[in-house]
Amino acid sequence: MAKKKISRRKFLVRGGLGTLGVLALGTYVFRNPIRREIIDFADSFVSPYSGTGTEPNLWFEITKDNTVILHSPKVEMGQGTFTGLAQIAADELDIDINQIQVIAASTASGIVDGLGTGGSLSVASMWMPLREMAATIRKMITIEAAKKLEIPVENLSTQNGIVSGNGTKITYAKAVENVTEWEIPDTPKLKPVADYKLVGKPVARIDLKAKVFGDPIFGMDAEMEDMLHAVVIRPEHIGATYKSANFNKAAQMPGVVKVVQIEDWIGVVAKTYAQALAAKMEVDVEWNIPKKWTEQEIRALISVGNGNEVLVQKEGDNLDDDDKEFLEIEFKSPMGAHAQIEPNGAVASYKDGKVTVILSTQVVGITQNQISKALDIDTKNINIIPTYLGGGFGRRLNTKHAIKAVQLSKEVGQPVKYFFTRKEEFQNDMFRPPTHHIMKGKLNEKGQISNLEHHFASGNVAIDSALLPDIANTILGADFGAIRGGSIHYSAIENIRAVQWHKTLPFATSWWRSLGLLANTFAIESFVDELALKGNQNPIELRLSQIKDNEEGIRLKNVIKKAQKEASYSDEVVNGKAMGFACSTDTGTPCAQIVEVSIIDNQIKVHKVTCVMDCGIAVNPDQVKAQCEGAMIMAMSAAMHEKMYIDDGQLQPTIYGPYDMALLKHAPKEINIHLIQGVDKPLPVGEPPLGPIAAAIANAVRRITGKRLTEMPLKLS
Amino acid sequence: MNIKFTINNKPVSIDIEDENTPLLWVVRDILDLKGTKFGCGKAACGACTLHVDDVAVRSCSYAVKFAKDKNVTTIEGLGDVENPHPVQQAWIEEVVPQCGYCQPGFMMATAALLKENPNPTDEDIDKNIINICRCATYYRMRKAIHRAAELTQESKN
């Protein structure tokens, strides 16, 4: 990737711009915003398509009490991005962690990250631009301090938000007060990473207290003056459309302001949420149901050989189908729901052609564009204010339900709060697509893998998603979301093939944390273990022998060897307990995991997990570990519990419980995480640890029971 | 109709048309205490957990009429920055929250458990703490629950 440099001519500084505010974590009176546009920062997804024409901007404000506020173009959904960005900025600004606040930028503040927050890239992609910007701003503050103190810049130094020299000092806030014309220096030399006081340290999350004391920081907590509450009725069958309805009774219910049908949904607006919900029960609606899809029909759509075929990876020769010697195993994974606890929703106000929306979203700019396009309102009249997210996991990479909230506000002439019921959430999720895999492979006389092939089918992930312009769908070959983790990283194998088949399902499938990585790694790493068993070899040694000694290969081998050593891996079953190994490389971050498993009451029990990851510079090692812990248990939940299915033409289940998820009792009691710094920059961490664990568990179970589990969720019988 | 109860040690008097309205919505939308969360509306996830007379209750499925003359405690009343409850202190020490949305429910469930069982075993925790956290912060939660038990003991000694 090209080096991201700040262009001096693009550096804009303005003073005295309008106020933001409802969601700021602090109150501040005096503002002196410094705005900087960074070109060459189209970042975000590592994708064949790049360049949306929008460029993220960043803002710093220095308040009168000498607090720096960073308006982040990335949102905080639990991944710790705000804390990481605060550490990076504070280190280059020479301020303490307690002197910086981070808030999510609204579209009105001028910050739009065209591709949203996702792909585990927030800290990794902001690393260089944020350092350069913070260093430049520190220099600019010093220049202003020099003028006010009448001391040459060279004699000044900065520490804890204070510029000092020649026995005198001034706070940053005082230094920048009343500055109208800024002097913009060349980007100063950055501090060596080793000199940072915050980067690399386990700083406590900056949002920790807000989250422990129950502060109202989420989209669900937002309110506007004179706000009404809305619920929405949608068809429950896949592909159904509106036919007719009778609202007479509902409209007479207490508190009801309006019942309205728009396109294929009905909105019920009332004074309170309970009233809206009660009135919803009285709406009599009929839908056109052109077809009742079955589970079998959906599964048949997603099968190798069906749909568009794309060659993803090829080295050497293909396996000959007439060759009776090769091993072939089929794997499957089900649809998964995001199931984030905060439901989707929005608080919206439409007044005199101007729109304000407060919501939990991963795509601030895209949501603005969706509303603009759907309702024919100029984007300059639409302000999207993102809040903290009660979970994202990819679900909020499309928050077009904000359109409904705006439409309802327009209908009643008052602000409206609309959020999904849990059933609506489950039935209108943008699911992790089901997958089907055929693995083929063969060992040569020396016991090395001579051929390895991954043929896999998946519903859409990137294709048809809100992140890509329609045009991209026709020029994209493979679905770059579904192929995550689908390529084979055993570079020393002579004959390799990965072939993807994709198909659009009759309901939305899209981004789910780690995308294809979870299912693809399950198939590949289960199969490699099976080849090791066939050749009577240690599965880790076999893997190590199949990786070339190039830079990527060495980093991968290092995490594998470290895991092997730390967990004291053995392929023996001792007292009914076995270890299972698997590894993956995702977004340049290699990760190896070893689980200790036993079978208790015919249930798979994971006792201990060892995880080794090379994520480059860990800006906040404690939060990187928190991401590993959460990602691994979330992947365990998907691997062992979760499954969406279709019954009578409807997506099911529609409530937690029946949608079985890992609980506290399922979490391993021992988790050991070791981080390796194989490169001198931060790499993505939020998704890579989801890769190995499903296969690692299946590999351990295979050793205990002799049975190869080939379908998620993994069940013994 | 009118319903009186105390919320975080303060007496309140609520006028409400429907006494079957879930306590959750009274707390969030009338009393404007947003720390208690809506997750599912069916008592399945525990995000709405608060205390009624020190007992953990899933308030999305608990009619406000049942709170009449009782003491309701929400996360806002559990402790504050100056005076955190041992559970909140433990949550801070172990840096438990990620997205944070479900955490008040878990902390309220834990505080109720510790009141009844000051030194829970892993099995007690498994059996009693059955809320859902999608960020899957369970590993740190278990540590924080044990730490909260310790802190409670220390404060008594």
Range with lowest mean pLDDT among A8-12, A544-548, B7-11, B54-58: A8-12
The CATH number of domain A219-289+344-419 is 1.20.120.400? no
ipTM score for this prediction: 0.98
Distance from CA of A43 to the nearest CA of B (A): 24
Question: A179 or A483: which carries more pLDDT confidence?
Answer: A483
Q: In the predicted model, what is the mean pLDDT of residues A74-80?
A: 95
Looking at residues A122-134, what average pLDDT do you find?
86
Fold match, A219-289+344-419 / A302-336+430-705: yes
Q: Does A15 touch chain B (CB under 8 A)?
A: no
**Phi then psi for A350, rounded to 5 degrees?**
-115, 115
Burial, A164: exposed, middle or buried (Cβ in 10 Å; 0-12, 13-18, 19+)? middle
Residues 103-132 on B with a CB inside 8 Å of A are 103-104, 107, 122, 125-127, 129-132
Domains for chain B: give ranges and CATH numbers: 2-78 (3.10.20.30), 86-156 (1.10.150.120)
Q: Are strands B2-7 and A645-647 parallel, antiparallel or unpaired?
A: unpaired
| Closest by Cα among A527, A476, A473, A517 to A639 | A517
User: What is the C-alpha to C-alpha distance for residues A114 and A67, in angstroms, rounded to an integer?
Assistant: 28
Which helix (H) or strand (E) is A566 found in, with range?
A: helix A551-566
A264 class by beta-carbon count within 10 Å (0-12 exposed, 13-18 middle, 19+ buried)? middle
Contact A255 B140 (CB under 8 A): no
Band of the pLDDT at A183, cuts 50, 70, 90? confident
Q: Per-domain residue ranges for chain A?
A: 8-206, 219-289+344-419, 302-336+430-705
Residue A472 exposed, middle or buried by CB count within 10 Å (0-12, 13-18, 19+): middle
* β-sheet bridge partners, residue A672: A610
Strands annotated E in chain B: 2-7, 10-15, 49-52, 55-58, 71-73
CATH code for the part of the protein at A302-336+430-705: 3.30.365.10
pLDDT at site A479: 84
pLDDT tens digits for range A611-631: 999 999 999 999 999 999 999
- Say which range, A21-30, A46-55, A215-224, A255-264, has the weakest mean pLDDT: A21-30
When comparing pLDDT for A470 and A194, which is higher? A194
| Chain A neighbors of B33, CB-CB under 8 A | 214
Q: Which of residues 524-583 of A touch B (CB under 8 A)?
A: none
Average pLDDT of chain A to the nearest whole number: 89
Which residues on chain A are in Cβ contact (under 8 Å) with B120?
A: none
The one-character DSSP state at A255 is T
What is the percent of chain A with per-residue pLDDT over 70, rounded to a whole number?
89
Concatenated DSSP letters for A375-421? HT--GGGEEEEE-B-S--TTGGG--THHHHHHHHHHHHTS-EEEE--
Angle between helices A693-705 and A621-640 (to 10 degrees): 50
The reported pLDDT for the residue numbered A33 is 36
Phi/psi class of residue A393: alpha, beta or left (left: φ > 0; alpha: ψ in -120 to 50)? left
| A618 and A124 Cβ atoms separated by less than 8 Å | no
Q: What are phi and psi of A117, to 5 degrees?
A: -110, 115
More confident residue, A132 or A4: A132
**What does A179-242 look like in DSSP terms, one character per residue?**
--S---PPPPPPPPGGG-SSTTS-PPPTTHHHHHTT-S-BGGG---TT-EEEEEE---BTT-EE
B137 interface with A at CB cutoff 8 Å: yes
Local structure of residue B131 (DSSP, 8 states): -
C-alpha A355/C-alpha A370 separation (Å) is 13
Residue A42: the pLDDT is 26
User: Looking at residue A68, what is its pLDDT?
Assistant: 87
Q: Rounded CA gap, A216 and A207, in Å?
A: 12
Q: Count other C-beta atoms under 10 Å from residue A286's C-beta.
A: 11
Is the pLDDT at A20 greater than 50? The verdict is no
Nearest by CB to A208, from B22, B97, B122: name it: B97
With cut-offs at 50, 70 and 90, classify the pLDDT of residue A31.
very low
- A669 → chain B, closest CA residue: B139
pLDDT at A47 over 90: no
CA angle at A380 for the pair A374 and A385, rounded to the nearest 5°: 80
CATH class of A8-206: alpha beta
Report the range of poorest mean pLDDT among A94-103, A164-173, A472-481.
A472-481
Name the minimum distance, in Å, from the CA of A200 to any CA of chain B. 17
Confidence of residue A112 (pLDDT cuts 50, 70, 90): low
At residue A373, does pLDDT exceed 70? yes
More confident residue, A453 or A477: A453
- Would you state the pLDDT for residue B2? 96
| Interchain contact, B99 vs A657, CB within 8 Å | no
**Does A661 touch chain B if contact means CB atoms closer than 8 Å?**
yes
| pLDDT tops 80 at residue A405 | yes
For A516, the 3-state DSSP assignment is coil
Name the least confident of A130-139, A509-518, A554-563, B146-155. Answer: A130-139
Each residue's pLDDT, cut to its tens digit, for chain B (157 residues) gives: 999 999 999 999 999 999 999 999 999 999 999 999 999 999 999 999 999 999 999 999 999 999 999 999 999 999 999 999 999 999 999 999 999 999 999 999 999 999 999 999 999 999 999 999 999 999 999 999 999 999 999 988 7
Query: What pLDDT does residue A107 have?
Result: 82
Residue A284 pairs in a beta bridge with A246
- The stretch A637-648 carries a mean pLDDT of 98
A340 touches chain B (CB under 8 A): yes
DSSP assignment of B64-103:
GGGGTTSEEE-HHHH--SSS--HHHHHHHHTT--SS-TTH
Give the lowest-confidence range in A103-112, A499-508, B30-39, B104-113. A103-112
Return the closest-CA partner of residue A586 out of A619, A537, A631, A643. Answer: A631
pLDDT tens digits, residue range A227-241? 999 999 999 999 999
Output the CA–CA distances (angstroms, integers) from residue A132 to A89, A345, B13, in the order listed: 9, 36, 56
Do residue A341 and residue B44 have CB atoms under 8 angstroms apart?
no
- Across the interface, do B139 and A637 touch by the CB < 8 Å criterion? no
Q: How confident is the model at residue A48 (pLDDT cuts 50, 70, 90)?
A: very low
Say if A600 is an interface residue toward chain B (CB within 8 Å): no
State residue A1's pLDDT score. 29
pLDDT category at A184 given cuts 50, 70, 90 is confident
Looking at residue A478, its pLDDT comes to 76
Model confidence at A568: pLDDT above 50? yes
* Helix extents (H) in A573-692: 621-640
Band the pLDDT of A29: cuts 50, 70, 90. very low
Q: Is B14 on the interface with A (CB under 8 A)?
A: no
Nearest chain A CA: its distance from B137 CA (Å):
6
Of A340, A390, A671, the CB nearest to B139: A671
pLDDT tens digits for A195-235? Answer: 999 999 999 999 999 999 999 999 999 999 999 999 999 99
How many angstroms separate the CA atoms of A435 and A432, rounded? Answer: 9
